[in-house]
Structure 1
Amino acid sequence: MSANIKNIVIRPATDSDLPQLAEFLQHLVEAERPFDPTLKEGEIFYYDIQELILDKATEVLVAEIDNQIVGCGYTQIRSGKEYEKHESFGYIGFMFVKPEFRGNGISRLLLQNLKEWVLSQGITEIRLQVYHENEAAIKAYEKDGFKKLITTMRCDIG
């Protein structure tokens, strides 16, 4: 399905969006399961979405087309480590677009709006985490200016 980008509205999430956002979170978990053998079975809630909406250091955005929520993402102001150049940075998470709406620039529009919010807080660095094997997401983030920084490694020892 190709959406007209002019019909896309990016806005802050509200409590009335919580059921849809909870559903998106489970879709995101299912999409990430093949990349992460450490995830438990069943429903997983990486975070409390309502708490994120209420948090002054966090901006949760939704993308709507014709009053239907089709995507979301958040950014949160986090403290840097004492040895890092930036005292604080924006952290992006919960990036999700419904499969039938992908390829319409919705993620890019969400990212632009999240970056603008971080800049409005006086912060000039933004970070995110993405699974190493999630090549589609990595390519999308690289198109938006992100560069790989660190790789987390793991192994089962018992």
Structure 2
Amino acid sequence: MKNMIIRAATDADLNQLKQFEQGVIEAERPFDQCLKPDPIQYYDLEQLISAEQCYLVVAELQNNDRSGKLIASGYARIEQAKPYVSYNFYSYLGFMYVDPEFRGHGVNQQLIKHLADWSSEQGVTMMHLDVFADNLPAIRAYQKAGFSASLLEMRCDITKM
């Protein structure tokens, strides 16, 4: 998308990031009946902004009529890999959100590329993320970015067995 920059999030972005977080929760609620009723929060945004092993970014429009408008977010967090895989660390991607008005314009792809570049600079060669199995639009977007499914988490409410 033209006239868009991706930059590190700051404390000044917190109000908009909290709105994005609610957008993520609203989008995921149909896929997870175990979520508590609103209000809930997924992320410690202040910690994601300040933690050394995390890189929280925002996409910001820089054109005349919408200068400074935040339209997307995402983070990469360096994690220790399982001892049985061939790499020691990976970047876990989360808080991937694009304002509905700007979806379908490659914003998510640019966020992922930016986070991949940062991860590579940290010496990391693998990225992981979680996506609900029924969230087909998100799965397609991540596949387009080069991700492939590797494990399906399953759960069972034993009170309904």
* TM tier relative to shorter chain: over 0.9
Q: Secondary structure at the match of 1:71?
A: strand
Aligned residue runs from structure 1 range 35-54, under 5 A: 35-54=31-50
Q: Report whether the alignment pairs 1:19 with 2:5.
A: no
When the two chains are superposed, the root-mean-square deviation of aligned CA atoms in Å is 0.7
Q: Deviations over 1:44-73 (max 9, x none)?
A: 211200101000100001001121000000
Aligned to 2:130: 129
Measured after TM superposition, the shift of residue 100 of structure 1 is 0.6
Aligned to 1:28: 24
Measured after TM superposition, the shift of residue 155 of structure 1 is 1.6
Aligned to 1:91: 92
Write the distance in 1 (CA, Å) between the matches of 2:69 and 2:57: 13
Write the distance in 1 (CA, Å) between the matches of 2:142 and 2:57: 17
Aligned residue runs from structure 1 range 1-158, under 5 A: 5-65=1-61, 66-158=67-159
Write the distance in 1 (CA, Å) between the matches of 2:102 and 2:136: 19
Measured after TM superposition, the shift of residue 154 of structure 1 is 1.3
Measured after TM superposition, the shift of residue 81 of structure 1 is 1.4
Write the distance in 2 (CA, Å) between the matches of 1:105 and 1:9: 13
Write the distance in 2 (CA, Å) between the matches of 1:157 and 1:109: 41
**What TM-score, normalized by structure 1, do the two folds share?**
0.95
How many residues are paired up? Answer: 154
Structure 1 gap ranges (5+): none
Measured after TM superposition, the shift of residue 38 of structure 1 is 1.1
**What TM-score, normalized by structure 2, do the two folds share?**
0.94
Q: Secondary structure at the match of 1:30?
A: helix
Structure 2 gap ranges (5+): 62-66
Write the distance in 1 (CA, Å) between the matches of 2:153 and 2:103: 28
Write the distance in 2 (CA, Å) between the matches of 1:7 and 1:47: 28
Amino acid at match of 1:56: E
Amino acid at match of 1:28: V
Write the distance in 2 (CA, Å) between the matches of 1:113 and 1:7: 16
Amino acid at match of 1:128: L
